[in-house]
Structure 1
Amino acid sequence: MVEEPADNPYVRDPDTSFAPVDELNEDEAREQVADLRAAIEYHDYRYYVENDPVIADRAYDELFERLQALEDAFDLHDENSPTQRVGGEPLDELETVEHVVPLLSLQSSGEVDEIREFDRRICDRVGEVNYSAEPKFDGFSVEVVYEDGAFDRAVTRGDGQRGEDVSANVRTIRSVPLHLPDDAPDFLAVRGEVYMPRSGFQELNERRIERGDDPFANPRNAAAGTVRLLDPETVADRPLDVFFYDVIDTSADLDAQTEAFDLLRDLGFRVNDETTVVDDVDAVIDYRNRLMDERDDLEYEIDGIVAKVVDFDAREELGSTARHPRWAFAYKFPARTGETTVERIIVQVGRTGKLTPVALLDPVDVQGVTISRATLHNASQIERLGVREGASVRLERAGDVIPEVVEVTEGGNGYFEMPDACPVCDGNVAQEGEHHYCTNASCPAQLRRSLQHFCSRDAMDIEGLGAEAADQLVEAGLIESLADLYDLDRDSLVALDGWGERSADNLLAELEASKHVALGTFIYALGIRHVGTERARALAAAFSLDELLDATVEDLRAVDDVGPEVAEAVVDYFDSEANVEMVERLLDAGVEPERQERGDELDGLTVVFTGSVPGYTRSELTELLETHGANVTSSVSGETDYLVVGENPGTRKREQAEAEGVKTLDPTAFEERILSRV
């Protein structure tokens, strides 16, 4: 156990009523910084390793903030200061570093005959031995090196000879010592397993799903992916921890694994409590079977146990192959198959605003794939299956791809209800049949899709704002609502990667030009569910924008082709305060939806299109003709006056026109006979 720093005023009941920083001279600041670093490192040890803090969280925060203030004011930064655990500048790349000694893999098997054969070979060579029995952590292995008692570097296993330098990331893990006690060896290289606790993994996945990001498949992938990130600040924000289990190399004299563990504990390293010494292979097998029964109750993932010969002289005599030591063996658990526990039920908001309940699971192997979540589709299915948090469930991979809960085999707690408000934006939630939708078009979970739709050609027709640009603007925080588009400025756009002055100016010009827009096009651009271009034009013909904002379901049902589902979707959309505020901001920004009066130049004319007419989109032609009294339909009938046959036409409509005796017009004849009249 690490000893408490002597005569340090910031260890027990610290006085945090500090004098102003500008009243200290540099010598006084250096002395206070030294005491604060020693105290904070001790508090980290007590909290993250011993799980026995000696001060309150608020007092710790005040000590930490004081240390940061002094380091900044007097330029006393140090890469091994506790303040560096919050993460530093992003890295350009991870450098490759050679290991102190090769990090070999282990022989492994889940068969009892294999572990007994391993023991027989050892006994034949060196006689009977004791074994160190340890959990086999399902995490990410790292080598951590200390020089003169200070953290020097952390390296991934890599190919066993060389690995990637992940020092900046591992330094953020608070259970990793940055300084060792004064009696530490001059040189020490240890091996540990970085892992993500189960509770932290579930919370991380919950946050990712709510943001619309893909969740991690399992805690190991989450830990491995995090350790290799190029942004230490992101790493510091993720729930990583570590267990140390080997002394790879040291200037100290060690004779046995038990002495290595004692040294690790004495120096403040976190060693797993399940580690023990057993007398023989039968005890190893019993140990493995016990941990296999208890693994679901552990806060970390294990996939077996490791047995190591305790005595180092015996290890030396046994030696190693090119791939693994002959004195260690990983006795693995069988893969979990199909049954697991529902840890939590959360609600994911898709890019269309659809709310989908998702079960976050204790990771389980299903047909060779690790599953940590499963869709529950909707509230009705949850009720039908009886899925509850804490329930044991059986899974299947639908079509061998999407995991689904197919049966509850035991228990669970409470009941699940779909939320009344969107879990991402707190916007209104509307139910349609068995499904629920967020009605806020500016909801972050669906904002990218809404932005792309708003700028599309049939909508506001803003060139230069495709999927990639939309994602970039949202991720940069420049767009949190569709109305933010018209607040963009040249400097903010030029500051984005890949943008120059010309592209910024082009986009701003497109935005300005888009402000004069037909009301039907504007309604379509808002992205109201079930309202396509034709329905948007019909709504624009029946209502002004102010009237549409206040329209009831009954008002809307009076419009042709507006049924109950469409009417409810429109009312729900404008019942959202966020949507109304967004529309008002768009109008304040200068967007002017113009209600076009319906003319009578083409009154009574029914037209159908097949193929494309050069110079126009289908939506533009439909709007133009309907504005002047024509009726544009999608299928040919005896009521059709003309079938306009453009480029790359289909055959079905032409065959129908021939059967019904409907006249056909090519693009030139169409312009002469019909467009010339408007």
Structure 2
Amino acid sequence: MDIQQTIQKLREELNVHNHNYYVLDTPTISDYEFDQKLKQLEDLEKKYPEYFDENSPTQRVGGTITKNFQTVPHQHRMYSLDNSYSKEDLIDWENRIQKVLGNVPLEYTCELKYDGASISITYENGKLKRAVTRGDGFQGDDVTNNIKTIKSIPLQLNGKDYPEKFDIRGEIILPFAGFEKMNQELIEIGEIPYSNPRNTASGSLKLQDSAEVAKRPLDCLLYFLIGNNLSFNTQFEGLETARKWGFKAPKEAKLAHNLDEVFQYIDYWDTHRHTLPYETDGVVVKVNSFHYQDELGFTAKSPRWAIAYKFKSEQVSTKLVSISYQVGRTGAITPVANLEPVQLAGTVVKRASLHNADQIEKLDIRIGDTVFVEKGGEIIPKIIEVDLSKRPENTEPTKYITHCPECQAELVRSEGEANHYCPNFYGCPPQIIGRIQHFISRKAMDIEGLGGETVALLYNNGLVRNYADLYELTVEQILPLERMAQKSAENLVKGVEKSKSIPFENLLFALGIRFVGETVAKKLAKHYKNIDALSKATMMDLILVDEIGERIAQSVIDFFENQENRIIVERLKSYGVQFEISEKINPNATDKLSGKTFVVSGVFSKFSRDDLKKAIEDNGGKVGSSISAKTDYVVAGENMGPAKLEKANQLKVAIISEDDFIKMINEN
């Protein structure tokens, strides 16, 4: 056997043993024998570098240093899940699904919801190509070198029947045993232990030295395959296939033939979850059929075909020490309960949200009360009840503040609003700092080298009063500030300069117009193309834009009617930021379908659904998610949903085939 064959045979053997040990939990050789084979392979690879392979088992030990993690767009967006907290919520969810599908018999895949760091891993020709964190769902950080150190993730897939390219999604987790061992080692050397497994797993992915990541007992549970030409048609088959290819797809997943079986699964794991070796906080329920998943589609944030059921939150009691008030970037006042520190769901809790004046009044919460605190669907803990049996005598009802705690302006509360607001929009420091912090954030202008604390430092030293001032900062101005070295100052100025190429839709979100979130900003940017057209839009113009209501429209008008905002926008223009949409040029694009709305339903032979939707948009048409009186055409493939067919006939919407659509866009 020649050297290359020997090296390849050793790699294959080690991959099998690795899979047996870390995925199947059934080792077939001793640790000593494994280490000897690995050492033999390392020696051969050093001696014969021409046979180097980035996916060799020897590469799992790490040692690659990553100073800056590259931001990479996801080919397929990573959506978040809608949450439910009761079986009634799940029944409502099924009813919504059946309205779209037409009361068809449904199967569900039930999976445990793992509390870890989301990851998307790309495989090409059976080899691990790239691993990217969830990020904002549209793009994340490339952490490939760190992911390769996790032994349960295959570098080379088993078999030959995998697609040429696909992504697999899952969670990077830190099992309890490994977490406790890491903490014990820290305690022994007098260091502060980690707070909880989830944050420790997430933080591990961004360590610069992959050799350090390799020392951590991370694991990876994978549960969703996405790509073209997959050889299966359901989520449950996907899990079985993933296991066959070598992935650690949890065996706790179960196929449920109806909602009653889903409830049985939830009830079982609500009591048995504490026997698992890692954290789980609920159950994910997915419509099993990929065809029905395609029919259901997505909302702006979540798939309609999946939902997370969250187990009842852990509760603890502690004492309320005081109430403080925070001012947000919009001027909204948030009351915060300061508590005696208490352990809750793996972290020490010292503060909890009290939401608003109505909530304080409803709870009748008073300083000195013993309160019950829980972590529900929110990250921030909340107070859910006061233990009146332990209330001290002679306590006074809490009086909500009347003036801003930062600038002393008298607070206002509009009719129908839950929150009090500080009206001093341009003079209240936390509002100004908050707006600039929002402007530089990742989903907005994504300014590297500039964080929230630095924004506060710049403001407090009189260097910025609004986000336009960032573009006039110099290294010489920044250097005298606390904790600012030459390199940090240079990086900050470079980061600001680089942000001038950020797309218009991000800039529009960054401006901080009230009620204009990420999705609304994209819709407005796409419709108006540039800031000048948007600034001149009337109320009627705005509410005719898809999903823009009166409240958003009025907020946009108010923003551009304000003279100070207009001055800031003009200044930003002069610095060269992107105030018009940069549309990708498609040489085949036309406006043939302009003014027409299409709904896509069924399975197609000449297009993927995504390609069909893109063809509609490339030719000036709009893709709707559901059939309504505004729909012009339904492009129907095989197995079109019966509910959509019925709705189309009822509204007399034209139903066309895939071939009809092709003729439509090819007509002169």
Range class of TM-score, shorter chain: 0.3 to 0.5
Structure having the higher Rg: 1
Alignment TM-score, normalising by the size of structure 1: 0.46
